[in-house]
Every structure is written in C-alpha cells, then in structure tokens.
Amino acid sequence: MYNYLDFEKPVQDLEGKILELKKLAENGEAVDVGDEIARLEKRSRDALRDAYKALTPWQKVQVARHPDRPHCIDYIKGLLTDFTPLAGDRNFGEDQAIVGGFARF
C-alpha cells in the first residue's frame, strides 16, 4: 500500500476509485469499465503532475522524507554482497544516519 502525503489527497481518491472499478470488473459485476478506468488513470496522472508542479518548501521536505523512498541500506543490499557494517564512533555510540562498512561490489 502506498503512503500518500497530505497534498496527494486528490490522487489518493482517484486511485481508490480506480481500484474499486477494477475489483468490480474482476468480479464481473461491472460492464465495460475499461474506458472509465483509463479516464480516471489519466486524471490521476494529471493530478499528480499538478501537485508536484508547485510544491511548497515543507512539501519538498515531506517528499524527501517519504517512508517509501529507498534508504542507503536498500542500495547496499541491491548493489553489494558480503556487506559487513561498521558500528560506533568510539566516543558516543551508534549513529543511525550514517551507514558504513565493507562489501564486495
């Protein structure tokens, strides 16, 4: 499930309607909803593009901190093998914001 930000509410509503129509089509309850789904998907893409055109500084921060964005450890797992993390800095302990270690590329 995608985590929508507050300014993405119109997109979330449209995506919900699209999912409902797709479920109806799968169950055979709806007749010829393909055109409606295509129209809603286009509106969803347009709404998302419009939402990201004029972001405020705080909204940019929200996008940068989005929980679904990949983190450093995701790239490490995807690109490297045999990763051995280094821990601590000998003075204060573990810093969760910094990832370092040895691996094979």
- Bridge partners of 102, per DSSP, are 84
- Bridge partners of 51, per DSSP, are none
CB atoms within 10 A of CB 11: 22
Structural domain range at position 49: 6-64
What angle separates helix 9-27 from helix 34-53, to the nearest 10 degrees? Answer: 160
Number of domains in the chain: 2
Looking at residue 26, its pLDDT comes to 82
pLDDT tens digits, one per residue of 28-71 = 766 678 888 899 999 999 999 999 998 999 999 999 999 889 98
Looking at residue 96, its pLDDT comes to 76
Token pair belonging to 70: 């990949």
Q: Domain check: are 55 and 79 in the same one?
A: no
Residues in the chain: 105
> If DSSP codes are grouped into helix, strand and coil, which group holds residue 103?
strand
Token pair belonging to 99: 């990832």
The one-letter amino acid code at 92 reads F
Identify whether 12 is part of a domain.
Answer: yes
Nearest Cα to Cα of residue 96 among 78, 72, 80: 72
Q: Domain check: are 36 and 53 in the same one?
A: yes
Q: Domain check: are 60 and 93 in the same one?
A: no
CB atoms within 10 A of CB 17: 15
For residues 95-101, give the mean pLDDT.
Answer: 83
